[in-house]
Structure 1
């Protein structure tokens, strides 16, 4: 009777995490990566103060190999976001310690921007890595001449009569040679602008430029580029060019690779600009004859052609 009989467990077993499928929310289907992956901490992926663009941009920068350019221009060419949004995201990463950009002067005099990306802010000193300095070449010491043998004392002659010191030569400052003047670089011609900037023409031009990347994926324009080129496209519309003709002129025979789409379109809008349309001949306005009240065209009121021809006969009668 003194043996204790245990008929029930002391507590129910706790469920194992990950075995049961959650009733709501996200379900993770994970596969193990063996190559081409980047480790990102939850402090970045779940940051409560960074924007989604800044979190994605930091993840992209951490996945790039060392030496890749991560300025505003390369990132704008890589992603569809505008320069203003990418610049704001880079400032967010700098403010929270995930990015640091410093300008340094190299030994050869060039000024470069050094960008440091931190996968965990505060764990490594953020001071920029100093540029390597070139060691000066060591010059071999000149050989020391052996001391001359001592000579027997010689009778000292009488000192010569002192002469007047020669005048010191006047230092002549060399005149620097004039630098060759390079020819001034000609300024590019300005973009054409419509004579009457109608709102409907500008709206149609913005819609055409925005839709160009659907027909030519190599043409990626920022919002600033579109508003800069829209008046030139409106000038084409004002001169009677159809949207299909403008689109064909801008997207045909594109160079490969197309590095600067906005500059390329600017050149074509200027070089291929059609001539202005000549206004059609305006007929003379209609006038009513003073005698027969018949309508006729004339710049001034008066009599029609028939009444004017009969007027001498009436005067003679």
Structure 2
């Protein structure tokens, strides 16, 4: 009663068609709807490849296009060491699954271009004419069963890559070079199909328009880096505190080991944080939290965080005080008639004097 039972697995075993084998593995195949990669048995069951090579081939095949697959990049992503990864990549390169070349970019930089083919044996096989539409990489001339060499067409055509003839095909009689030309009716251009909005059954759909490129190409010019923050006045006290904070970073994060030249270059930016009333513990936490693994360039990493995470200056007491409504005060004036004080914007008579002056006139 205390042995856990996987009821879902038992129910799936009951639904497997046919009798179950008495020994060996029993496959429960469920269709994938998302996050899956198709791997051929020519790779999964290749006895000439080691298990590590097959595993890294599957891992590289599952990565999106444009992902770094160098030795150090794979070692940072997976738990295997660099020596095992290098040996596995050499095996894949020897069997045609992987191809690495050194190319020069338009800006003069040398990079390694890595190409991974999921089925290298298919590149050596002849494919039918319609296969070039489905896979442009597998463009090959059709191999005739009667002739070991391709016959030259009468009309000029683009050069095609011809696959070698397998050794099992018997060698027939040589083909006469003067082959009969096809009838003139066969060379006529076929009439174009009618233009309709609905797809014709049995015909391939037109290619979809290319998706807009969201990521800039590698050769696109990069934006210049933001300048380091500079304090209003680098006092000796701020300089000493900034140097001590940068020198103490390796105690809290062993990856952030800075040289004396790096500390001298990053001192003004750290002093700017201190000038803006940032506590040293706050600066230290901002520089050592969520570090990438590994930190390849500690000085560039610290420079980036000092520049991007710079807090704004603290507001003053006047800026934090709530805005008060402005009260308009009317000044006091002295009446010219009775010398009584009253409030008015301009010198004049008071109310009583104005009333007394208006009554005789009425």
* TM-score (norm: length of structure 2): 0.32
Q: Per chain length, whose mean CA-contact separation is higher, i.e. which structure has more relative contact order (CA < 8 Å, sep 6+)?
A: 1
Bigger radius of gyration among the two: 1
